Amino acid sequence: MTALAPVLDRLDQNLDQSLDRLFDLLRIKSISTDPEFAAECRKAADWLVEDLKSIGFEASVRPTPGHPMVVAHHDGPAGSPHILFYGHYDVQPVDPLELWENDPFDPALKEIEPGRKIITGRGSSDDKGQLMLFVEACRAWKAVHGSLPCRITILFEGEEESGSPSLRPFLEANAAELKADFSLVCDTDMWNEETPSICTSLRGLVGEEITVKAANRDLHSGMYGGPAANPIRILANLLADIHDEQGRVTIPGFYDGVEETPSQILQGWEALGETAESFLGPIGLSIPAGEKGRPVLELLWARPTAEFNGITGGYTGKGFKTVIAAEASAKISFRLVHAQDPKKIRAAFRQFAAERVPADCSIDFHEHGGSPAIQLSYDSPFLTGAKDALTEEWGKQAVMIGGGGSIPIVGDFRSYLGMESLLVGFALPDDRIHSPNEKYDLKSFHKGQRSWARILDALTS
């Protein structure tokens, strides 16, 4: 605490200056999806490089076929951990502009209720506000001690909001330079405005599109109904067979690599107070539809799923047409957990589906990507240190949560750099990311800086 205390004081004293720097970055229109803003994306990368250089980082803009990367390095004490910190400087488009209360690229500080101030503007939460928290923590450490507590590499991406097309080739080409002991990823949320969280798992994904084909043309249902195979019925039966009455997936080998959630983790999730009713109520539902007997957060964070995302076939226009379609299609996504193998899941599903199609019909498959799940060891010393640091700062026990979706960068760090990732963020569910009137709580911005300073201290003590 001796080394940490003056760093925290420095962050408190320089909050206004850190806001000024964030506002300068937020004014840059770094919309990565629109080629019209390519120069603005480069401007944001240049701004970050100059800011990191002012702290003492060796920083540079790295070209890619798309928008540039920002890479920066700073030495640390001998024997200290090497940390890779990741964030992204690009932002979402602002459309529809008329729904914004203020210019999305003219950030401001507003009081929305007594004692609660917010930072407004596109990128304030996702992800410029988040990445600057770590930069400010480093700035304060350097100002107070003249050095950083560990070796740090920073990677800021400019294409996260447009699918990261340049990221994997860049990681592969620069693996030796970027590889560290572990990575820190800031693009996540708190559990609520008072409770910090660490995301310890992300579900993987397998996407499949299937098409069942029967007759060589659409048929009149009065002339052919009965004798002729109906691909919609074949497809419906196939999809119905994927789940049993208990909500479990019936594809052979589907649960290979799926572990039971440790009891202490389940108890921690139970303490969060989320129920099926509270989770489903806001969307007009109340009865959980997954595996029976499991709590809603376990279903969302630690259990695999098979979901049907779209079905087409036959006549779907206005009115009525008595037709037996020649083909029917479905889009299916599998969310994976623990050690499930995306390639094995895909192969098992395709065999399962093919076995349910009559011999005189056919089935085609089209792949829509796949990635494994991410699971951080619950006894990781990095996790323990970060949890203690967050608890100390917020005065409330930090919780370990899961992610129902996927963050591809985490899997890429594991695949290309052989690193585990610690996901810590200070966004809130009401930050309206990707929507008009994006905001970031001033409390998140202030205490987030202090949190990262504490985490750096905890991980290097």
pLDDT in tens, 411-452: 889 889 999 899 999 999 899 999 999 999 999 999 999 999
Gyration radius (Cα) of the chain, Å? 25
Boundary residue ending a domain (315, 348, 371): 371
CB 308 within 8 A of CB 239: yes
**Proportion of the chain above pLDDT 70, given as a percent:** 100
* Mean of pLDDT over the chain: 95
At residue 65, the pLDDT reads 97
Retrieve residue 242's tokens. 């994927």
Retrieve residue 46's tokens. 């240049």
Residues 211 and 170 both lie in one domain: no
Residues 10 and 119 both lie in one domain: yes
CB 107 within 8 A of CB 7: no
Residue positions counted in the chain: 461
What CATH number has the domain bearing residue 310?
3.30.70.360
How far is the C-alpha of 85 from the C-alpha of 152, rounded, in Å? 7
At residue 415, the pLDDT reads 87
**CB half-sphere exposure, 30, CA atoms < 13 A:** 32
Under DSSP, is residue 363 helix (H, G, I), strand (E, B) or coil? strand
**Residue 39 scores a pLDDT above 90:** yes
**Residue 406 scores a pLDDT above 80:** no
Per-residue pLDDT, averaged over 62-72, amounts to 98
Per-residue pLDDT, averaged over 37-50, amounts to 98
Residues 230 and 144 both lie in one domain: no
| 341 domain-assigned | yes
Under DSSP, is residue 209 helix (H, G, I), strand (E, B) or coil? strand
Rounded to 5°, the CA angle 224-229-233 comes to 115
**DSSP one-letter code for 149:** S
Under DSSP, is residue 283 helix (H, G, I), strand (E, B) or coil? helix
| 145 domain-assigned | yes
Summarize pLDDT for 84-94 with one digit per residue, the tens.
999 999 999 99
What CATH number has the domain bearing residue 172?
3.40.630.10
| 317 domain-assigned | yes
Q: Domain range spanning residue 397?
A: 4-202+376-460
Under DSSP, is residue 148 helix (H, G, I), strand (E, B) or coil? coil
Retrieve residue 279's tokens. 């989770």
CB 158 within 8 A of CB 69: yes
At residue 155, the pLDDT reads 98
H or E stretch including 191? none
**DSSP one-letter code for 256:** T
How far is the C-alpha of 406 from the C-alpha of 307, rounded, in Å? 15
Q: Which residue has the tokens 């594809």?
A: 251
Residues 32 and 132 both lie in one domain: yes
* Beta-strand pair 219-220/151-157: unpaired
Residues 144 and 99 both lie in one domain: yes
Q: Count the neighbouring beta carbons within 10 Å of the beta carbon of residue 316.
A: 9
Maximal C-alpha separation, the chain = 87
How far is the C-alpha of 27 from the C-alpha of 30, rounded, in Å? 9
Residues 195 and 325 both lie in one domain: no
**Residue 404 scores a pLDDT above 80:** no
How far is the C-alpha of 46 from the C-alpha of 26, rounded, in Å? 14
At residue 264, the pLDDT reads 87
Boundary residue ending a domain (346, 371, 396): 371
**Residue 378 scores a pLDDT above 80:** no
At residue 1, the pLDDT reads 58
Packing angle between helix 128-145 and helix 4-13, nearest 10 degrees? 120
At residue 200, the pLDDT reads 86
Of 18-22, 237-241, 336-340, 409-413, the range with the lowest mean pLDDT is 409-413
Residue partners of 262: CB distance under 8 A and separation at least 6: 378
Residues 104 and 244 both lie in one domain: no
Phi, psi dihedral angles at 354 (to 5 degrees): -60, -35
Residues 352 and 380 both lie in one domain: no
CB 226 within 8 A of CB 232: no
Per-residue confidence at 294, pLDDT binned at 50, 70, 90? very high
| 282 domain-assigned | no
Of 171-175, 365-369, 378-382, the range with the lowest mean pLDDT is 378-382
Helices then strands, counting H and E runs in the chain, come out as 15, 18
Under DSSP, is residue 171 helix (H, G, I), strand (E, B) or coil? helix
Q: Is the dihedral of CA 173, 176, 178, 183 positive or negative?
A: positive
Summarize pLDDT for 203-231 with one digit per residue, the tens.
989 999 999 999 999 999 999 999 999 99
Residues 110 and 122 both lie in one domain: yes
Under DSSP, is residue 27 helix (H, G, I), strand (E, B) or coil? coil
Under DSSP, is residue 197 helix (H, G, I), strand (E, B) or coil? strand
**Residue 372 scores a pLDDT above 90:** no
Scanning 114-205, the segments in alpha helix (DSSP H) are 128-145, 167-173, 175-178
How far is the C-alpha of 166 from the C-alpha of 383, rounded, in Å? 30
Under DSSP, is residue 222 helix (H, G, I), strand (E, B) or coil? helix
Number of domains comprising the chain:
2
Q: Count the neighbouring beta carbons within 10 Å of the beta carbon of residue 114.
A: 5
| 268 domain-assigned | no
Of 90-104, 258-272, 291-305, the range with the lowest mean pLDDT is 258-272
Per-residue pLDDT, averaged over 164-170, amounts to 95
